Chains A and B, each alone.
Chain A
Amino acid sequence: MNKNVILKKVLKPGRYIGGEYGEIIKDKNKMDARWAFLFPDTYEIGMSNLGVRLLYGVLNQMENVWCERCYCPWVDMEEQMRVNNLPLFALESGDPVKDFDILGITLQYELCYTNVLNALELAGIPLLAKDRGEDCPIVIGGGPAIYNPEPVADFFDVFSIGEGEEALPEFTKLYIKMKKDGSYTRKAFLHEAAKLEGFYVPSLYNVEFNEDMTQKSFTPIYDDIPQKIRKRIIKDLDKVFYPEKVVMPYIETVHDRIVIEPFRGCIRGCRFCQAGMTYRPIREASPDVLNCRARTLYDNTGYDEISFSCLSISDYTRLSELTDKMLAWTDENKVSLSLPSQRADAFTHEIMEKISGVRASGITFAPEAGTQRLRDAINKNLFEEDLMRACNVAFDFGKNNIKLYFMNGLPTETDEDIEGIADLSKKVVELYYKNPNRQKGKHPSVTISVSCFIPKPFTAFQWESQNDFEELERKQAYLASKITDKKIRYTWHNAKVSHVEAVLARGSRRISKVLLKAHEKGLKFDSWDEFFDYDKWMEAFSECGIDPDFYARREIGIDELLPWDMLDIGVTKAFLKNERKKAYESLTTPNCKEKCSGCGASKLGGNCTWCREK
């Protein structure tokens, strides 16, 4: 049965056809290496991803390399593919992914792991790396969730740790060189790749466990590969390759807009935040370069929205300059500037003016905790006055919707802190009515969105335990009981999903059999409500003889060997240990602009303005 028949039977066949404006087509017979780049979720979600856009551009810049895109088919298409023996294919050529040289998979977060396994199966590639023959593509993983790759280590040939713009071309060139000079075998290539900075080849490291299942050792099997793998960073964000075109989806995707990246890293050092640590050291791009990129992308796409992608846009030192440069042409071209969630303590009338007049009727802030005491413990460094001032700025501009993000289950949390969330939101409502500039006749709407705390690797809280259900649910109900005002909307995240995420986040190689089991049970699209099946996950753990709480709800010993200790992300363990100690004393650490705390990231280079330790 051919694709024509299959495509007629599925929803949104536009996801599977490719042929978009901006896609890159090359002559496959003239290529030295063919990459298939898999984003392990649907087309609509993957096409909005900045990382894929960047790496697609970077790899295709190499004349003799062709990188094509691949996404997880929706369940109806998957069924058709299985029934008709149509293996997973890349969009540009339509060729089966298993015929490519390299299959790159971006790991966005832990809940995509089952999709990864499902995609490998659909592609016809053996799930376990050790079962792959010389004809199989080299399967390489990378992306934001790479900072504990151990749960999926058995399924990947190699991982790229850190930023890929320079690393992946280097890797590809090594591949091509070895193929051309005849020295290539899978084993030989992977051994050479393991010597390149930032590449982790799991099969070349032995992991041993103690009787109590804690990790005992992590040992390279060769002398010429590193004990610790240091992540790669791009030192100069101005000079790094940035695509001038974007593949323009025909169908509607999650975000249809231009994305530019003002800087990487974050000065704040919130103790729960993994990204803030793993993207250090802080490196900024200059407003001229950013504006130029935005303009070029606008000319080549016609998108009417530009989004700034970074961890804390308010902390970009040259934000005014950048927005001024952009507003000079965006206003008249009816292009809107979309700023992600702001720091309340840096939210001013000036910023509001620049993004005002645009579709958003609401503003989002993330206090994360309800009392100053807990905000200090998590190092959020946000004062109530700042939040109130920021809300007033929004009200002054006629906005009446405020969204506040909080977390439940944070270390050192007490019921007083939970009540604090209700108090804060009440104060915001009261503030609205006191504001003389507010939109008359309109009621305020305050939404508090509470997620569950998940201890993540490379944070000060990486040793903490996650609250169990009874406790989380009790807290959620307690908060609900404290909210009586109809103008406050309270939403909370599924604690069961957070539980599974926590297990996978701190998992070791022992988790791989659970993932295989979960895949066998048909689990996939775990981040989608309609597919997440907690009971099946628990079955998978139980059938593998693994207690999920060993990973999610155990307080890890401070001197225990962690499954991710072999990665060097710059920030040191000593720094994280100290931050944890301070959390328990409710002591704050100043942000990098205020005072360098010597986190250790500066040793990676990058000329961060505030690093004092060089």
Chain B
Amino acid sequence: MVQGKIRLKFKKTGKLRFISHLDLVRTMKGAFLRAKVPIYYSEGFNPHPKMVFSLPLSVGCESVCEFMDIKLNSPMRESELLAALNRQFTGDLEFTDVYPCKSDFNDIGWALYDIKILDDIDLDKLKNAFKNPLVITKKSKKGMIEVDLQPNIKNCRIVSVGGETNIKTLLCAKPDSYVNPEHLIHALSEAVGGIEDYYITRLTVYDKNGEEFR
């Protein structure tokens, strides 16, 4: 049984990678209501269910390790809760685990991504790109600035099989130095001359000590 502050782990894949975070939040609201989960609502004129999500996920990216924290008003059996919620979705969104939350989303340090590229690209150029600065322009309080992603990329492995190039890499996921994998693609695209047909999946999240985040 679980109650009070709990953490739900879920996957967002397939077609659902194309809905934004805001859309997801709204969808979750309806799902919890339909599933009749006794979730805690905020007070005030416009009460809404209180939900906190872990990391941002760009439109177009899949993830098998998303987390959301909620508060239950009354206890529920884990399997029942997961089943009730999963009935509200078509499979592209799936809740995989629920447990009392012990850690904080601020503890998150790194995220492991799998990037699959179907374009015909020069593998050598790609590998070289990772040996040089990967600069992108970002908006900041001071205006547009240039940022080198390299310090925030770790353990990058590139494999090419058939017509598919596969990059597995850790990207920094701390709030102030979060690396959006789309930015990485953008920088790589400049280096190898065009990446269009790619699939990004967030596989695992790690805390600042390198332990798998839970």
Residues of A with Cβ closer than 8 Å to B? 1-2, 4-5, 7-8, 13-14, 16-21, 23, 248, 250-252, 299-304, 334, 359
- A225 vs B27: C-alpha distance when bound (angstroms): 50
Q: Tell me, yes or no, whether B199 is within 8 Å of chain A by CB.
A: yes
Nearest first, the 10 A-B pairs at minimum CB distance are: A302-B33, A302-B30, A19-B15, A13-B18, A17-B15, A302-B34, A250-B19, A14-B19, A250-B23, A5-B197
- A14 vs B33: C-alpha distance when bound (angstroms): 22
- Kindly specify which of B67-75, B88-96, B139-147, B203-211 makes contact with the partner chain: B88-96
> Given A251-B23, A302-B34 in contact, is the A4-B47 Cβ separation under 8 Å?
no
Are A14 and B20 neighbours in the complex by a CB distance under 8 Å? Answer: yes
- A308 vs B199: C-alpha distance when bound (angstroms): 44
- A359 vs B46: C-alpha distance when bound (angstroms): 9
Q: Which of A19, A20, A252 has a CB less than 8 Å from the CB of B14?
A: A19
Q: Which residues of A contact B30 (CB under 8 A)?
A: 21, 248, 301-303
Q: Tell me, yes or no, whether B102 is within 8 Å of chain A by CB.
A: no
Are B199 and A299 neighbours in the complex by a CB distance under 8 Å? Answer: no
The interface size of chain B toward A, counting residues with CB under 8 Å, comes to 28
Are A19 and B92 neighbours in the complex by a CB distance under 8 Å? Answer: yes
Given contacts A7-B60, A21-B90, A252-B26, 5 further A-B contacts (CB under 8 A): A8-B60, A13-B60, A250-B19, A301-B30, A359-B46
Q: Tell me, yes or no, whether B59 is within 8 Å of chain A by CB.
A: yes
> Chain B, 20-48, contact with A by CB distance < 8 Å: what is the 0/1 string?
10111011011111100000000000110
Q: Which residues of A contact B33 (CB under 8 A)?
A: 302, 304
Q: Tell me, yes or no, whether B196 is within 8 Å of chain A by CB.
A: yes
Are A19 and B90 neighbours in the complex by a CB distance under 8 Å? Answer: yes
- A14 vs B30: C-alpha distance when bound (angstroms): 17
Q: Which residues of B contact A5 (CB under 8 A)?
A: 196-197
Are A19 and B199 neighbours in the complex by a CB distance under 8 Å? Answer: no
Q: Which residues of B contact A300 (CB under 8 A)?
A: 34
Q: Which residues of A contact B199 (CB under 8 A)?
A: 4
Are A301 and B34 neighbours in the complex by a CB distance under 8 Å? Answer: yes
Residue of A nearest to B182 (CB): A8
- A13 vs B61: C-alpha distance when bound (angstroms): 12
- A14 vs B24: C-alpha distance when bound (angstroms): 11
Q: Tell me, yes or no, whether B191 is within 8 Å of chain A by CB.
A: no
- A303 vs B20: C-alpha distance when bound (angstroms): 20
Q: Which residues of A contact B47 (CB under 8 A)?
A: 334
- A1 vs B196: C-alpha distance when bound (angstroms): 10
Q: Which of B18, B27, B29 has a CB less than 8 Å from the CB of A17?
A: B18
Residue of B nearest to A11 (CB): B59
Residues of B with Cβ closer than 8 Å to A? 14-16, 18-20, 22-24, 26-27, 29-34, 46-47, 59-60, 88-90, 92, 196-197, 199
Q: Which residues of A contact B26 (CB under 8 A)?
A: 250, 252
- A5 vs B16: C-alpha distance when bound (angstroms): 15
Q: Which residues of A contact B34 (CB under 8 A)?
A: 299-302
Q: Which residues of A contact B197 (CB under 8 A)?
A: 1-2, 4-5
Interface centre among B18, B26, B59, B196 (most CB of A within 10 A): B18
- A18 vs B92: C-alpha distance when bound (angstroms): 11
Interface centre among A8, A23, A303, A359 (most CB of B within 10 A): A8
With both chains docked as a complex, state the minimum distance between the C-beta of A587 and any C-beta of chain B, in angstroms. Answer: 49
With both chains docked as a complex, state the minimum distance between the C-beta of B184 and any C-beta of chain A, in angstroms. Answer: 15
> Given A2-B197, A21-B89, A251-B23 in contact, is the A302-B29 Cβ separation under 8 Å?
yes
Q: Which residues of B contact A20 (CB under 8 A)?
A: 90
With both chains docked as a complex, state the minimum distance between the C-beta of A90 and any C-beta of chain B, in angstroms. Answer: 14
Q: Which residues of A contact B29 (CB under 8 A)?
A: 302
Q: Which residues of B contact A14 (CB under 8 A)?
A: 18-20, 23, 59
- A302 vs B31: C-alpha distance when bound (angstroms): 7
Q: Which residues of A contact B88 (CB under 8 A)?
A: 21
Q: Which residues of A contact B19 (CB under 8 A)?
A: 14, 17, 250-251
Q: Which residues of B contact A17 (CB under 8 A)?
A: 15-16, 18-19
With both chains docked as a complex, state the minimum distance between the C-beta of A562 and any C-beta of chain B, in angstroms. Answer: 47
Residue of A nearest to B33 (CB): A302
- A20 vs B16: C-alpha distance when bound (angstroms): 9
Interface centre among A19, A252, A359 (most CB of B within 10 A): A19
Q: Which residues of B contact A304 (CB under 8 A)?
A: 33
- A8 vs B197: C-alpha distance when bound (angstroms): 9
- A282 vs B68: C-alpha distance when bound (angstroms): 50
Q: Which residues of A contact B15 (CB under 8 A)?
A: 17-19
- A75 vs B200: C-alpha distance when bound (angstroms): 26
* 29 A-B pairs with C-beta separation under 8 A: A1-B197, A4-B197, A5-B196, A8-B196, A13-B18, A13-B60, A14-B18, A14-B19, A14-B23, A16-B18, A17-B19, A18-B15, A19-B14, A19-B15, A20-B90, A21-B27, A21-B88, A21-B89, A21-B90, A248-B30, A250-B16, A250-B19, A250-B23, A250-B26, A251-B20, A252-B22, A301-B30, A303-B30, A304-B33
Q: Which residues of B contact A19 (CB under 8 A)?
A: 14-16, 90, 92
Residue of A nearest to B24 (CB): A250
With both chains docked as a complex, state the minimum distance between the C-beta of A388 and any C-beta of chain B, in angstroms. Answer: 30
With both chains docked as a complex, state the minimum distance between the C-beta of B29 and any C-beta of chain A, in angstroms. Answer: 7
> Given A4-B197, A21-B90, A303-B30 in contact, is the A252-B23 Cβ separation under 8 Å?
yes
- A301 vs B24: C-alpha distance when bound (angstroms): 15
- A23 vs B92: C-alpha distance when bound (angstroms): 14
- A332 vs B22: C-alpha distance when bound (angstroms): 27
Residue of A nearest to B59 (CB): A13
With both chains docked as a complex, state the minimum distance between the C-beta of A328 and any C-beta of chain B, in angstroms. Answer: 19
> Given A21-B88, A334-B47 in contact, is the A7-B31 Cβ separation under 8 Å?
no
